[in-house]
């Protein structure tokens, strides 16, 4: 059993793929967290810009 554990610990095949997958997962989580945190503020800003553009187009600005 110890030989198997030692052999698996020394085997580095596929380690790079696992590391890249972990990096992608962490970055994906950060993107989702950022979108969640700033989503409401961005939505409000875009809504205000849209309303201002509508008023300007109608000549009621």
**Is residue 35 included in any domain, yes or no?**
yes
**Is residue 6 included in any domain, yes or no?**
no
Query: According to the model, what pLDDT value does residue 59 have?
Result: 84
Structure tokens at 27: 């970055």
What Rg, from alpha-carbon coordinates, does the chain have? 25
How far is it, in rounded angstroms, from Cα 22 to Cα 56? 48
**Is residue 7 included in any domain, yes or no?**
no
**Is residue 5 included in any domain, yes or no?**
no
Range of the domain at 37: 20-54
Q: What is the pLDDT of residues 2-44, one digit of tens each?
A: 787 777 677 666 667 778 889 999 999 999 998 888 888 888 9
**Is residue 4 included in any domain, yes or no?**
no
């Amino acid at each position: 059993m110890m030989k198997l554990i030692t052999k698996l610990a020394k085997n580095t095949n596929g380690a790079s793929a696992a590391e890249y997958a972990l990096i992608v997962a962490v970055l994906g989580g950060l993107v989702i967290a950022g979108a969640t945190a700033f989503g409401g503020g961005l939505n409000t800003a875009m809504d205000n810009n849209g309303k201002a553009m509508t008023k300007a187009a109608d000549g009621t600005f």
